[in-house]
Amino acid sequence: MVYGIIKLINFAHGEIMMFGAYFAFIATTSFQLPVWAVLLSSMVIMAVIGVVIEFVAYRPLRNAPRLSALITAIGMSLFLQNLALIIFKPDPKVMPKIFPETIYRLGEIEISSTTLITIGLSLFFMVLLDFYIRKTKQGRAMRAVSEDKDAAILMGINVNRTISLTFAVGSALGALGGVLYSVAYIQVYPTMGVMPGLKAFIAAVLGGIGIIPGAMLGGFIIGMVETMTKAYLSTTWADAIVFAILIIVLLFKPTGILGKNTREKV
């Protein structure tokens, strides 16, 4: 979403995910909130923080060269990591089980209720986000700014507010991803968002960057490839194969699985 609207790869998105997991940990352990309140509070807090990050770090560089914005995104990622180290300390926190844990068996296949809930929530929010982008006034404004920012201004769209809203929605969903990730892998620590953030970018490129269902499809494919690699080859090869997929996609189909080649008149 962020890349589609301002052509910026937000490398700090993994750290937004990490902070979302920490806020969910605090909401669970310190306040004993129910599951829905844990998810909602984490998403709302990170939506606000996402808007603040956009206003402080990215908006002043709106008209700067892309390289400047890219370096700023990397710097923001490192800043948030070190901020988490100072606030939460480097030792990993154990994330409590906020979902009921049940193992379902289908022959020799075992799948946990946490996995099913993760897939279900991901599908639900993907459909909700797709509906929001396509059918609502704010969603149409996002698509208009993505297509032509100058024309959107002439049509009366508040571009700054639309971009801030995009960061808010993206950060809220990043927080949701962080909660689900921490529940699945149990631990929460300051650098937990680095590798998932990079793999999320690979998934977006694989599925078709700027295409919401494509990003989710790419995520499932990357997850399956990584799991199969760990199961049948070696755990040390998993990350290498994932990044090799990125190189192959960029070489042979840079628009991604669901992306289409578009002609551009010169």
pLDDT in tens, 4-21: 788 888 899 999 999 999
**Predicted pLDDT at 24:** 96
Regarding whether 216 and 106 lie in a shared domain, the answer is no
Regarding whether 197 and 126 lie in a shared domain, the answer is no
User: For the chain, what percentages of helix, strand and coil (3-state, to nearest 5) are there?
Assistant: 70, 5, 25
Select from 166, 192, 218 the last residue of a domain.
192
Q: Which residue has the tokens 């290498």?
A: 240
Structure tokens at 263: 């002609």
For residue 261, how many other CB atoms are within 10 A of its CB? 7
**Distance of alpha carbon 122 from alpha carbon 177, whole angstroms:** 8
- Per the model's pLDDT, the better-predicted residue between 86 and 246 turns out to be 86
Side-chain half-sphere exposure of 141, counting CA atoms within 13 A? 17
Q: In 3D, which of 210, 181, 185, 211 has the Cα closest to residue 197? A: 181
* Residue 264 in this model has a pLDDT that exceeds 70: no
Between the alpha carbon of residue 246 and those of residues 7, 12, 116, 205, 256, the distances in Å are 19, 20, 27, 7, 10
Regarding whether 156 and 54 lie in a shared domain, the answer is yes
What tens digit of pLDDT does each residue of 182-194 get?
A: 999 999 999 999 9
Provide the pLDDT confidence category of residue 263 given band limits of 50, 70 and 90: low
* Residue 250 in this model has a pLDDT that exceeds 90: no
Instruction: Confirm whether 198 is domain-assigned.
Output: yes
**Predicted pLDDT at 96:** 92
Residues 6 or more apart whose CB falls under 8 angstroms from that of 98 comprise 24, 28, 35, 38, 179, 183
Regarding whether 211 and 173 lie in a shared domain, the answer is no
Regarding whether 228 and 154 lie in a shared domain, the answer is no
Regarding whether 165 and 149 lie in a shared domain, the answer is yes
Provide the pLDDT confidence category of residue 231 given band limits of 50, 70 and 90: confident
Regarding whether 165 and 236 lie in a shared domain, the answer is no
**Predicted pLDDT at 15:** 96
Provide the pLDDT confidence category of residue 205 given band limits of 50, 70 and 90: confident
- Per the model's pLDDT, the better-predicted residue between 17 and 261 turns out to be 17
Regarding whether 139 and 25 lie in a shared domain, the answer is yes
**Predicted pLDDT at 192:** 95
Instruction: Confirm whether 265 is domain-assigned.
Output: no
* Residue 261 in this model has a pLDDT that exceeds 90: no
Regarding whether 244 and 134 lie in a shared domain, the answer is no
Provide the pLDDT confidence category of residue 108 given band limits of 50, 70 and 90: confident
Q: What is the mean pLDDT of the chain?
A: 90
Mean pLDDT of 64-88: 93
DSSP state of 158: -
**Which range has the worst mean pLDDT, 49-63, 134-148, 162-176, 202-216?**
202-216
DSSP state of 95: P
Between the alpha carbon of residue 169 and those of residues 69, 78, 129, 151, 163, the distances in Å are 20, 22, 9, 23, 10
Bridge partners (DSSP) of residue 103 are 112
Count: domains in the chain: 2
pTM, two decimals, is: 0.91
- Per the model's pLDDT, the better-predicted residue between 30 and 213 turns out to be 30
Q: Which residue has the tokens 């004993």?
A: 32
What tens digit of pLDDT does each residue of 28-45 get?
A: 999 999 999 999 999 999
Query: Phi-psi category of 64—alpha, beta or left, where left has phi over 0 and alpha has psi -120 to 50?
Result: beta
